[in-house]
Structure 1
Amino acid sequence: MQRKIIPQGKGGATISLPIDWVRKHNLKAGDSVYLEEERDALFITSTFRKKEKSKEILFTHTPSLQKIRTIVASLYKAGYTQITLTFPEEAPHADLATLISTFTGLEIISQTPRQVVIHSFLTQDPQETEQLITKLFHTVHYLFSHLSTIDTEEGNAYKINTRKVRDHCLRLIHTTKHGGDVTYDYYDIVTTLEKITTELARVIQHKTCSLVSTLFPHFDNLYTAYLKKDSEKSMEVYDTLQRIREKDNKRMQRKTYAKKYPVEVGFYYILEERLLQLASRVISTTLQKT
């Protein structure tokens, strides 16, 4: 791609940036871009190109696999490229291999009896973030609309896969600063969608969905609002959910639900709260687009 140099004052010069590149990286007038010289080449990036981050964890005793996963997940979502785990005795290699497979793009690149080196081969494509968020919305939509026909095994499979997509998406949001001023809102959208998936998997397991199914139209409207970046529609969904919650909070209504849906009522109130939280974050992100 060729660009002409335009004289600027006595000692400066400017070039124009391709508009497609500017839009792809959500850049606005006044934003900073970064220049990096490498021999005769000049690279322009929308974000500062940091060196790959690495971290070594030295365990004084062998922790549980759940604790190891929590540590790896935290570093993974924070954008670390290489993670080294060193154990006081022989590492649980088979279990670690299974654990690492639950993350997108992570691979064990070397190991010794007491040490494992994990590397991330993920790229940082800003467009992929939106694709993953849409995938999470679609998963919840599918589960909500098939609560009575999905079996427990399939529900659990979606729950496990959603956790994997969540971690991948949170890493991209962190490393690409997706959304700019509303990065946290995108972060919360992703974690809330994963929590909703987990709750729906539990509903499927208990084979009770009559009450929970009444929330599906509101999620459906919220999903549409997110896809269309429609702030007005997302606010309408939020207001509707608020009115429903106020009605549900009345003591008589709670007694009716508890008597008619003794198992399901707990899931219903949790999901109602999750949808309200999701709606508030969708409002923030759609307002930015308008």
Structure 2
Amino acid sequence: MVLINHYWDVLMKRKIIKQSGRAYTITLPVKWIREINIREGDELNITQLNDELLVSAHAHKKEKKIIKLDVPEGRESAIRTIIVNAYRSGFDIIEVVFKGKKQILTNTVDTFLIGFELFEKSKNQFIIETVSEPSYENFENMVNRMIYLLQEIFEILPEENIDNLVYKVQKYDNFLKRCISKELFSIGGATFLWQFLSNLTQIARLAYHFKKSLLKNKKTFDKKVKEIYVMLNEMLELLKKGYLKKDFNVLSELHSFDQKINENAEKLIMQNPLIVHPILTIARMIYLANSPLTGYLHMHSFKK
């Protein structure tokens, strides 16, 4: 249903006209065009309200969402969790009372939030607010980028540092979840997508800790480990294809990979636990990611 809003008091139903390709148009009465003083080439604002579209000649600014947090001193990860989830929840201004080191807040904002900056209001009082968020229209591109980053992580993991790539995955995850929370546009299967994003981020985090373990214990891949690692990358490729092609049938092969990897898992773990166990854990997380992705693809198909 499309509602044309005129001074908030007149509603009119209009037919949707199919154009060439995948475009659709609606028409406006000449009387409204003259009264509102708009002309050919002007831009209108369209807001989605559940299953309705509100078309307006003027932008309607939403009030900024503000949250006040009294953040206790503690581990940096605990502090980060509090700040990041306020950001994910869609708050535009995060007022923070914090008696710890300012650098902890600075690191969190710079590393894990997109488009936000930290300002010191007074002693132990800070404001974290949006200054230059990217367009929410980039949502789909960011999901794609997140998947490609994961592949890059596993391509270079045996030989190179992956820290910055993992941080980027987390940063994209936080922004994409912020988009979902703010409901700025319709996402079919948002719950499934949220879980899928969480799985992707968890895969990146597992890779991060795996890399740290390799460096600490000075371990390298033997022939058997390389074979499993190749399968892990093939599983990730299937996950990517399933999402990009919006085809859940592609994901069925993940079940075969999961079974194959686990056939000799116990024996391999006993031979090389410090390397094999983390790889199997990552492979399992990739496998688990196919469930929410399948649900999301079902909803995506249903919307069409």
Sort the TM-score into its range (normalised by shorter chain): 0.7 to 0.9
Counterpart among 172, 180, 187 of residue 180 in structure 1: 187
Q: Which residue of structure 1 lines up, in the alignment, with residue 118 of structure 2? A: 108
Aligned length: 258
The 5 A counterparts of 1:150-169 are: 150-151=159-160, 154-169=161-176
Deviation per residue, 1:108-130 (Å, 9 max, x gap): 24421121111123547443221
Q: Which amino acid aligns with 1:272?
A: A
Closer/same/farther in 2, CA of residues 141 and 180 from structure 1, 3 Å limit: same
In structure 1, what is the equivalent of residue 79 of structure 2? 68
TM-score by length of 1: 0.75
Q: Deviations over 1:124-170 (max 9, x none)?
A: 7443221111111001111223343x32xx21222222222221121
Q: Quote the Cα distance in structure 2 between the aligned partners of 1:241 and 1:123.
A: 39
Change (3 A) 1:178 1:220: farther
Unpaired stretches in structure 2, ≥5 consecutive residues: 5-9, 26-45, 215-219
Task: Please give the alpha-carbon distance, in whole angstroms, between the structure 1 residues aligned to 2:199 and 2:24.
Answer: 31
Report the 3-state secondary structure (helix = DSSP H, G, I; strand = E; otherwise coil) of the residue aligned with 2:90.
coil
Q: How does 1:1-290 map to 2 (within 5 A)?
A: 13-15=12-14, 31-34=51-54, 41=57, 50-59=62-71, 62-87=73-98, 92-102=101-111, 103-121=113-131, 123=133, 125-148=135-158, 150-151=159-160, 154-176=161-183, 180-205=187-212, 206=214, 207-208=220-221, 210=226, 211-234=228-251, 236-244=252-260, 248=262, 253-290=264-301
- Alpha carbons 1:185, 1:281 under 8 Å: kept: yes
Q: Is the 8 A contact 2:243 2:293 kept in 1?
A: yes
Separation of aligned partners in 2, 1:158 and 1:174? 24
Task: With the length of structure 2 as denominator, give the TM-score of the two structures.
Answer: 0.72
Structure 1: where are the runs of 5+ without partners? 6-10
Secondary structure class of the residue paired with 1:264: helix
Distance 2:155 2:68 in 1: 44
